[in-house]
Chains A and B, each alone.
Chain A
């Protein structure tokens, strides 16, 4: 996972509430077995006018010329509900987003974003509206160390769980950390494996 410390970039706003993972990454793209290349399919149903991802929808904000290269997504409430597909996060990252700013998040999506170094920030609606109204060329600085979003006009503070902040700042790999607990994991297994012994396995062993 890439560490996240400070990110400078421009934003694009999609202020609808309830943007879900079927919108972020429609199911027809989930048959790919890699983690890469999902950026092209991000928001495909809204972003393209055809099924082959070749005709961009000129009315969709991500396609506006002034929003090309934007790396901060500002959205409405209840972001990324629905399916657990991590492909939604892979799509956001591959497209070039490093930060999402929304009202609140689905629990599974939030965990998925942490695992990939995508910073998901919660801000009140009025602050998101103010951000969304900035001129598109405005450069914004998102600083995880100081927990601030700086624009030429204002500085917004955001809260984040300190443990999650630490993981993001240092790009910590969960698995390496967990493997250090091998002893307690084995102890649990020693205590419970017999209890959960299924009939079919018991029969095979007999």
Chain B
């Protein structure tokens, strides 16, 4: 019987153990940041162990750095945590992307931008959104701090092979509908824990047509579907993306030859399989406190059929029968490892055209990395956002995790391009509504959620008039 993409990458990395039990797998890339690494480094010291492969470890600061003025970290604990990472990287000879330098940014932006994220690799990081890197055909997953320490000391991990879940996505997305909407649709349809215990693989013509950025968005949110690992087989777009990047393999053509063998065989079988057609998919907005509590734009929020939904309505101060248009938005946040790549900012800007942010809305753009910020500035995108009334910030995780001074004020409703709408995620009593960057930007200028498909036509007809 044939093998899945996951099987192929997994097999190459198994060093010990029987299938069905925990197996020792080699880790090709370990990305670290300031929040989940200090305890691991400290244990290395107390146990007298050394870091096995510093050259396969890369570090960046992202969770704690402020985004208004990165040089003024007000919180003493945050300062200490950043300084601890700097000292640890120095002591253990790990490359740290310079604070404020061109390579710094959210850890899941940095790996691909450097070309360190590659097909066929095993990649881990003490952060659940490590699944993002699976968009390149890697087995990439989040780990806890004890596992961070284990990788430090051994460059390996004991893991039980996951079951596989194949997700075929077909159909052409309408204008104004994005990969973020596909993943929110999947989570809504099947539930936030559907993928638990599975390595999920996306494929199908819709996936083939997505850019690397859009694929990363889908894999990033695989964890919100419960899947620890999410993958997409590499293709020409993947190789093109990686070519010439600083940490791409020196023997690039040889690498491509190997990468071309990384796909699911036609006669391979997944342990579970689902298929969706996205031709008629509408943009999504979440109304509740899990990513599964979302609906296509225009659909009425459901009746409270259990205590979880009741609780969500109480927290969000919304009720059954309302629609996304009724959400009293006061804040718009474009940022995070889900949707703060250059393409996201380009798509969002399409909806700005000569418009201003509504008076009652605070709107903020936080590019995911310094590279994205600089490119967006060079392209004139930053000016467009600033002229429309957005705040244009320094890169970082920012209000997605709200541990750096950036929070959504209590009880405010925020259109957010992030990945989690959990209670208090973006600050105590914050009310997060997940959506695509286009939806968020359009909401900022309209003052409320609006259908990006309709607006795209408005923008297009406007353009048509201009060019006529």
Residues of A at the B interface (CB closer than 8 Å) are 16-18, 20, 22-23, 26-28, 30-35, 45, 51, 77-78, 81-87, 89, 104-109, 111-112, 115-116, 161, 163, 174-175, 178-179, 181, 184-185, 188-189, 192, 194-202
State whether B116 touches A198 (Cβ < 8 A): yes
Would A31 and B77 count as touching, CB distance under 8 A? Answer: yes
> Which residue of the partner chain, among A81, A163, A178, A188, contacts B226 with CB atoms under 8 Å?
A81
Contact check, B16 vs A179: say whether CB atoms are below 8 A apart. no
Asked whether, in the complex, the Cβ of B308 is within 8 Å of the Cβ of A17, the reply is yes
27 A-B residue contacts at CB 8 Å? A20-B420, A22-B420, A22-B423, A23-B424, A27-B401, A28-B402, A31-B75, A31-B80, A33-B39, A33-B42, A35-B39, A84-B36, A86-B126, A107-B228, A108-B143, A111-B143, A112-B145, A115-B147, A174-B150, A175-B150, A175-B153, A184-B16, A188-B13, A188-B15, A188-B26, A189-B53, A198-B246
Q: Is B28 an interface residue (CB 8 A)?
A: yes
Q: Mask for B282-318, Cβ within 8 A of A = 1, else 0?
A: 0000000110000000000000000110010000000
Residues of chain A with a CB closer than 8 A to B145's CB: 35, 86-87, 112
Tell me whether B248 is interfacial, beta carbon within 8 Å: yes
Contact A84 B128 (CB under 8 A): yes
Q: Is the CB of A175 within 8 A of B39?
A: no
Q: Write out the residue numbers on chain A whose beta carbons fall within 8 Å of the beta carbon of B245.
A: 199
- Which one of A51, A82, A188, A199 lies within 8 Å of B248 (CB-CB)? A199
Q: List chain A residues, Cβ under 8 A from B116.
A: 198
**Which of the 9-residue segments B167-175, B191-199, B269-277 touches chain A?**
B191-199
Measured in the bound complex, the distance between the Cα atoms of B150 and A51 in whole Å is 35
Check: B425 CB closer than 8 A to any chain A CB: yes
Q: A20-B422, A82-B420 are in contact. Are A195 and B251 (CB under 8 A)?
A: yes
Question: B interface, how many residues as a size bin?
Answer: 35 or more
A24 to chain B, nearest CB (A): 11
With A78-B193, A181-B15, A185-B156 in contact, do A106 and B21 touch (Cβ < 8 Å)?
no
* A107 and B81 in contact, given A178-B158, A181-B156 (Cβ under 8 angstroms): no
Say yes or no: is B22 at the interface (Cβ < 8 Å to chain A): yes
Residue of B nearest to A23 (CB): B423
Mask: chain B, 95-122; 1 = CB below 8 Å from A; 0 = not: 0000000000000000000011010010
Interface string of B410-449 (1 = CB under 8 A from A): 0000000000101111001000000000000000000000
Chain B residues with CB under 8 Å of A27's CB are: 63, 401-403, 425
Contact B196 A106 (CB under 8 A): yes
B26 to chain A: which residues have CB within 8 Å?
185, 188-189, 192
Report yes or no: A16 in contact with B15, Cβ–Cβ below 8 A.
no
Residue B255 interfacial (CB < 8 Å): yes
Given A81-B226, A108-B128, A116-B146: 7 more A-B contacts, CB < 8 Å: A34-B42, A83-B127, A178-B156, A189-B155, A195-B255, A197-B250, A199-B245
* Residues 2-30 of B contacting A (Cβ, < 8 Å): 13, 15-16, 21-22, 24, 26, 28
Nearest CB of A to B7, in Å: 18
- Which one of A26, A111, A175 contacts B49 once the chains associate, using CB atoms below 8 Å? A175
Partner of B247, one of A18, A30, A163, A200: A200
Contacts A108-B142, A175-B154, A201-B55 given: A32-B425 contact, CB under 8 Å?
no
Cα distance A179–B258 when bound, in Å? 30
> Which residues of the partner chain A approach B16 to less than 8 Å between Cβ atoms?
181, 184
Q: Which residues of A contact B223 (CB under 8 A)?
A: 82
